[in-house]
Amino acid sequence: MLLDEIKRQMMAAMKAHDTVRKEILRVALGELSMAAERAGGTLADEPVQGILRKLVKSNQDTLALTADPAQQETLRKEIAVLEELLPKTLDADGIVALLEPVREAIRAAANDGQATGVAMKHLKTTGAAVQGKDVGDAVRRIRA
């Protein structure tokens, strides 16, 4: 499980005295343990990935707002550590290719929201790792 991998990586970072990796993994584990408590048990990989993506997004937002070069470098390292843990997601081009079987249904949808729903339903059945923004871009390309 992804949670076990995060714990292993944190222990390795502690032994290697890798402060940046250790601290961001500690933050991630804190977020994950709070989410597990709220859920009333252990978390599967999918919710863990969602929490990691939120942490990446939060760090990216902070990176855009900070002017301190040292803090920017630390944030970039933290983002890299978190992204290592996430499965590689398809880009918009890959998503367009995967949506080929439902291209006509996407075009026939009344609006972009319904078209995105058709696309997401199809992508879930394929098990592809995607991000909503990229799916939206792919749907707009298909409907254009």
User: Is there a single domain that holds both residue 103 and residue 47?
Assistant: no
* Number of independent structural domains in the chain: 2
pTM over 0.75: no
User: Is there a single domain that holds both residue 77 and residue 97?
Assistant: no
pLDDT at residue 75 above 90? yes
User: Is there a single domain that holds both residue 11 and residue 60?
Assistant: yes
Cβ atoms within 10 Å, residue 5: 13
Name the DSSP class of 88. Answer: P
User: Is there a single domain that holds both residue 80 and residue 116?
Assistant: no
**pLDDT the model gives residue 30:** 95
User: Is there a single domain that holds both residue 135 and residue 102?
Assistant: yes
- Please give the mean pLDDT across all residues of the chain: 92
pLDDT at residue 69 above 90? yes
User: Is there a single domain that holds both residue 70 and residue 18?
Assistant: yes
What gap in Å lies between CA 49 and CA 128, rounded to an integer? 14
Average pLDDT for 73-85? 95
User: Is there a single domain that holds both residue 116 and residue 134?
Assistant: yes
User: Is there a single domain that holds both residue 71 and residue 104?
Assistant: no
pLDDT at residue 41 above 90? no
User: Is there a single domain that holds both residue 77 and residue 45?
Assistant: yes
Q: Which amino acid is at 100?
A: E
**pLDDT the model gives residue 140:** 92
**pLDDT the model gives residue 58:** 96
Range of the domain at 116: 92-143
User: Is there a single domain that holds both residue 63 and residue 116?
Assistant: no
What gap in Å lies between CA 144 and CA 132, rounded to an integer? 18
- In this structure, what CATH number is given to the domain that contains residue 29? 1.10.1510.10
**pLDDT the model gives residue 132:** 85
User: Is there a single domain that holds both residue 73 and residue 132?
Assistant: no
User: Is there a single domain that holds both residue 134 and residue 76?
Assistant: no
Tens of pLDDT, residue by residue over 98-136, are: 999 999 999 999 998 999 999 999 998 888 888 888 999
